[in-house]
Amino acid sequence: MEREEVKKRIAERFGSKVRIAERSPKRVYVYAENEIWTDLARFLFDDLNARFDTGAAVDDANGVEVMFFFPFDREHYFVTIKTFAAKPNPTLNSIAAYIPGAKWIEREMFEMYEVNFLNHPDLRPVLRADTRPGDYYPAKREVKDDHETVRQRDDGDARADEVAGKAPKGKNP
């Protein structure tokens, strides 16, 4: 399905609940509200016949941005749908309940960023060893204020250079 048609169909179906941006002819980004998140994914996958690819998460001060990639192969472009799961308890409905291919990537996002996917068929960590504590989310950053990001180390200590807002010594500036 052509790009313009897809954008039109999404806008018709979800109206003000989505915002559509286009960075290039091959990349369309759809920002969706949490409540229609799974509906949008299913609409792309079932009704518009997009292929499910994978997902990704980006952490920031206020929450976790979660995105899934849906390529339209015959027309050579990607539609990326995005939503925002707010901290302190980022929660979203699971699309793995409908698209089994999303099972592991949602488990990974849960494990790394503490995104709780409701209705996931088997939401348990996918990568971590059994010996690791359940309440530790390695990729999650604790933000102290607007400028400082602190990432916990193995031993639980904060990295001094990150706290100070400096680049680590010996690393590239």
Partner 1 sequence: MVKKIPIGPFHPLLEEPEFFELHVDGERVVGIDITIGWSHRGIELLSEHKTWDQVPFLVERICGICSCSHPYAYVKAVEDLCQIEVPLRAQYIRCIAAELERLHSHLLWTGLAGHFLGYNTVFMWTWKFREPVLDILEAVTGNRNHYAVMKPGGVRRDLPQEEVPNIIKMLDQVEKENAMLTKAILDDPVIHARTKGVGIFNKDQCRLYGALGPTARSAGYDVDDRRDHPIDAYDKVSFNVILCEHGDVFDKAVVRQLENFESIKIIRQCLKLIEDTKPGDICAEIREVPPGEGIGVYEAPRGEVLHYVRSNGGNMPMRHKVRAPSFNNILTNELSVLGNTIADAGLITAAVDPCYSCTERIGIVDRASGGRRVLTEADLVRLSHEKTEALRKRFAEGRENG
In the complex, the residues that contact partner 1 under the rule CB under 8 A are 23-24, 26-27, 51-54, 56-58, 67, 69, 71, 73-74, 76, 78, 80, 99-105, 108-109, 111-112, 125-129, 131-133, 136, 138-139, 151-156, 168, 171-173
Shortest distance, position 51 Cβ to partner 1, whole Å: 7
Cβ nearer to partner 1, comparing 35 with 54? 54
Residue placing its CB nearer to partner 1 in the complex, 145 or 155: 155
CB nearer to partner 1: pick between 16 and 23: 23
According to DSSP, the β-strands at 77-86 and 27-32 are parallel
Give residue for tokens 């949602």: 106
Quote the least distance from Cβ 15 to partner 1, whole Å.
25
Beta bridge partners of 80: 29, 69
Tokens representing 59?
Answer: 């952490």
Six token digits for residue 3: 């790009």
Is the Cβ of residue 40 or residue 57 nearer to partner 1 in the bound state? 57
Q: Which two tokens stand for residue 151?
A: 């990432």
Burial of 35 (0-12, 13-18, 19+ CB in 10 A): exposed
